[in-house]
Structure 1
Amino acid sequence: MLDNLHASIETRAEGDEPEAGTDDLAEIRTAITGFTSTAESRFTAIDTGLAEMRTRLDRAETVLRRPGAAAATPPAAEVETRAFAGFIRRGREALTADEVRSLRVSDDTAGGFLAPDQFMAELLRNVVQFSPIRSIARVMPTGAPAVLLPKRTGGFTGQWVGENDTRPATTATFGQNRYPVAEAAAYVDVSNVMLEDAAVDILSLVSFEFAEEFGRLEGAAFVNGSGQGEPLGLMTSTELAFTPSGSASAVTAEGIIDLFHAVPTAYRGSATWVMNSATMGAVRKLKDGSTGTFLLMTSGIANAPATTLLGRPVVEAPDMPSIAGGAFPIAFGDFAAGYRIFDRVALSVLRDPYSQATNGMTRFHGRRRVAGGVGKPEAIRKLKIATS
C-alpha cells in the first residue's frame, strides 16, 4: 500500500504542473520513507520477540516432558482452597483478612464455612462409595428449603370415530411432588498434633470421615427413610408397585423374570437391580429353567462387563431388606427417572477447638442438607416375597 501511494505521488509530481508544490511533495516522500522504515523496524523487533518466545516455550516443554517433572512442580492451590486448609489447621483467628473474605460463609452465627469445590469433589466421590443410590439416581442442586415439581396424574384420552361422529373431549390432570430438604450432621475429633503436622493431608482425612458418616446416613435414608426429618426412601414410598416372587419365603427365577418384564420398556433399557449382599448370594444360585445357566453373571463370565442380571447391572445396597416373608428385598428400574436427590448445602464445617481441648483434640462439626424422594413411580418396581 505504501509503494502504491509513493508511485501515485511520483505520478502527480510528473504531471502538467511540475513546478507547483515540489517542496511539499518532497516532504511527503521523506515522511513516507521514515514511516516505512519505522514500521519495518518494529515488525522486525516483533518477529525477533516471537522467535525468542517460541524458543523459551520449546525449552519449557522439553523440561516438562522429562520424567518426574510434573510431580516436582505441582500447580499452586486456589486461594479458597488454601484458606479453607488454613481454617481447618489453625482456625479463623490465624487467617488473614483476604483469606477470610475468600471463604464462603454458611452460617454467620455458628461460624461455619462452606467447603470449596475441590474439597467437595473428593467428599462426593467418597459419599458415592457408601451410598450407591446416589450414584444411580438423578442428583440436582437446589436453593430452596423444599422442592416442588409438577407431575402429570392423568393424560389425554381418545377414541376412534366415524366420519360424522361426535368427537370426545379430553383433558390432562396435574399434581406436584414435594421434596422437603432435611439436614444431616456429624462431628469428628482430630488430634491437635495432627493438625500441626504439615505432612498430614488433613483435608483428605476430614473429607473421608464426613463422607463415611454422611454416606451411611444417606444410604439408609434413600432406601428406608420415613420422610419425617429425613428423605423419603424408595422402599418406604407407597407409590411404587410390586411384583410377587411366587414363593412365600424365597426369591424365584420366575419372580425375577416377571419383575423384569413388569417394568415399562421405556425404562427397562436404563434400569438397574438394587439388592443387598445376602439377596445377591441367593439370586446367584438361581438358574434358567430352560438352559440351566445362572441368571446372575459376574465380570469375566459370558463376556459380561460387570455383574448383571438378565443383562442389566446390579448395585449392592446394604440397606435393602433381606429375604423374608412379606419383605421387598429387590428393586428394579430406571433410578435416574424414578428417584430424585436435591443437594441444598453440600458441606458446612464448624471448627471447635475448645470442647475437647483437655484431650488435645479439635472437634469439627459438619452438616449437609439434602432432599430425596420418588420422582416417577412407574420407573421403579419392587419384588415382594409372597405368592400374590
Structure 2
Amino acid sequence: MQLHEIRERRAAKVTEARSLLASDKLTPEQQAAFDKLKGEITSLEADEARAQFLEDAERRSAGPLDKGTRELHGQVSLVEAIRCQVEGRAATGAVAEYSREVEQRTGTKGIYVPLSAFETRAQTTTSAANIVADDFRPDLFVGPLRNSLVMRRLGARVLTGLRGDVVIPRQKTSHTAQWLAEGDSLTESGMTFDQLTLKPRHVGALTELSRQLIQQASPQIEQLVRDDMSAVIAEAFDAAMINGDGVKEPLGLLNTVGIQTANLATLSWDAVQAMLLKLGIKNVSPTAWLTSPGAAMKLATTLKSTTAGAGYLLEGGTLAGLPVAVTNQVPGKGTSPVKGQIVLGDFSEMFVGVWDSVQILVNPYAEGPYKRGGVMVRALMTADVAVRRPEAFVVASDVAL
C-alpha cells in the first residue's frame, strides 16, 4: 500500500472514531467500535512508519549518478546486446553488468540497455539493411523523414529513474485573504489538494536487422542502430503525449479534462489575442504554440488586418511573439471536413515519467527475417505522461483547412 493511501485510511479511521466520541456516554456497542478503530489506527500508524522509512530510503538512494555509474552507462553497446542474443551466448562486459543491476532492482531477467543510450538521436533514420558497403560513408547516409518530435523540445518536464507508480501532490486552491472592518471576524479558509499519478505504460517497436550489420564493430553502425530504434519509439511516445487515449497509451494533452477551449473558425488577430487572454486570466504565461502543417499554412497566409502593409498571423516561425511548433502528430478534428487544431500553453506544465531502462529481445528465428538472413529485434520502453495544470493550455479545434 502506498504511503498516501495509508494516511488517507488512517485519517478516515480517526474521523470515524471522533464521531463516536460526540455523544456524552458511549453505549457498549459504541465502546466496542471505538476499541476496534483504536486498534486499526495503531496498526495503520505502524504501517505508515514502515512506508515512510522505505520512501525516505528510496529517495536517498535516487541521487545523481556517480562517476562509475555514468561510465558504465556510456560503455553499454546496443549492438553488443543484440549480438550476444543472436549468437546464443551470455552477455559480457558492460551489457552483462548493467543487465544484472536492472535485474536486481526489478526482479525481471533480460538484456537491458540504459535509456541514455538513446538520448542522442537523429530525426531522419532508417533500417540498416543496405548500409554495409565496401566504402561506408555515414556522413552521406539518407533515411526516411520522421514526424517532427516536438513535445520534449517545447519544455515538457522529464522525470527519470522512476520505480513503481509515482504520485505528485497538486494544490488546487489556496488560503483567501480578507479585509476587515472594526469588530469583523475572519472567515476560515484552507488549501485543497489532489494528486497526479504516473503509472508505468509500455511502448515498443520491432525492427529487422541484417546479420552482417550486427557483426560490424563500427561506432557509426552502433549509432545508426540506436538512432533508428530510439526514433521509432520516440515518435510513438510523442504522438501519445499529444493525443493519447489514456487506455493503453498515456492520456495525451488534447484528451485531458480541463483544457480550455477557444474559437478560431474565423482566423483573425483578435481571435488569436482572445486565446492569449484566456491564459492570462488564469495567470499562465504561455511558452509556445503547437499545431499541424495544414493549420500552420492557414496562419501563414492570413493577414493580421486589411490595412496596407499588415503582416501575416504566422511570420518567421512565431505567432504573437511566441514560437510555433509544427508536426503531423497533431491530428485533425472531425470529418467532412476535417478541422485543424491549434494549442497554446505553458508546456512546462506537462510531466513525462520515464522508467530508465530499455529492454532488448532478439528473435533470430522469425520466419520472414530468418529467410532473408536477418533477425527481429524488439525494444520496450516504460513511460507515462501527466498534465499538472490543464488550465495552462487552450485549444482551438475549428480551424478551417
Q: TM-score, normalization: structure 1? A: 0.67
**1:271 Cα deviation after fit:** 1.4
Which is greater in Rg?
1
- 1:83 and 1:102 in contact (8 A); partners too: no
**1:200 Cα deviation after fit:** 7.1
**1:196 Cα deviation after fit:** 2.0
For residues 172 and 83 of structure 1, what CA distance do their matches in structure 2 show?
48
Query: Which AA in structure 2 matches 1:111?
Result: G
- 2:170 and 2:195 in contact (8 A); partners too: yes
Q: Structure 1 326/365 Cα, relative in aligned 2: closer, same or farther at 3 Å?
A: closer
Q: Structure 1 161/144 Cα, relative in aligned 2: closer, same or farther at 3 Å?
A: same
Q: Structure 1 104/96 Cα, relative in aligned 2: closer, same or farther at 3 Å?
A: closer
Q: String of CA shifts for 1:187-209, please: whole Å, max 9, x gaps.
A: 11111112223347332222122
* Residue 294 of structure 1, aligned match among 287, 301, 312: 312
* Residue 334 of structure 1, aligned match among 325, 333, 346: 346
- What does residue 59 of structure 2 align with? none
- What does residue 263 of structure 1 align with? 279
Q: Structure 1 97/152 Cα, relative in aligned 2: closer, same or farther at 3 Å?
A: closer
For residues 253 and 262 of structure 1, what CA distance do their matches in structure 2 show?
15
Work out whether 1:322 is the aligned partner of 2:321. no
Gaps of 5+ in 2: 1-69, 126-145
Query: Which AA in structure 1 matches 2:326?
Result: E
* Residue 363 of structure 2, aligned match among 347, 352, 358: 352
Work out whether 1:170 is the aligned partner of 2:183. no
- 1:287 and 1:293 in contact (8 A); partners too: yes
- What does residue 158 of structure 1 align with? 177
- What does residue 120 of structure 2 align with? 122
Q: Structure 1 327/180 Cα, relative in aligned 2: closer, same or farther at 3 Å?
A: farther
After TM superposition, list the pairs within 5 Å mapping 1:174-213 onto structure 2: 174-199=193-218, 201-213=220-232
Work out whether 1:370 is the aligned partner of 2:386. no
- What does residue 239 of structure 1 align with? 258
For residues 326 and 318 of structure 2, what CA distance do their matches in structure 1 show?
11
- 1:331 and 1:380 in contact (8 A); partners too: yes
- 2:353 and 2:384 in contact (8 A); partners too: yes
Q: When the two structures are aligned, how many residues end up with a matched partner?
A: 298
Q: String of CA shifts for 1:321-376, please: whole Å, max 9, x gaps.
A: 33767956011011012x11111144221223333434311221100011002111
**1:270 Cα deviation after fit:** 4.8
**1:224 Cα deviation after fit:** 1.1
- 2:147 and 2:329 in contact (8 A); partners too: no
- Segment drifting more, 317-326 vs 373-382: 317-326
Query: Which AA in structure 2 matches 1:194?
Result: L
Q: TM-score, normalization: structure 2? A: 0.65
After TM superposition, list the pairs within 5 Å mapping 1:68-147 onto structure 2: 81=74, 84=77, 85-91=79-85, 98-99=93-94, 101-105=96-100, 106=102, 111-115=110-114, 117=116, 119-123=117-121, 130-136=148-154, 137-147=156-166
Superposition RMSD in Å:
3.2
Q: Structure 1 98/194 Cα, relative in aligned 2: closer, same or farther at 3 Å?
A: closer
- 1:138 and 1:336 in contact (8 A); partners too: yes
Q: Structure 1 321/255 Cα, relative in aligned 2: closer, same or farther at 3 Å?
A: farther
Query: Which AA in structure 1 matches 2:113?
Result: L
**1:80 Cα deviation after fit:** 5.6
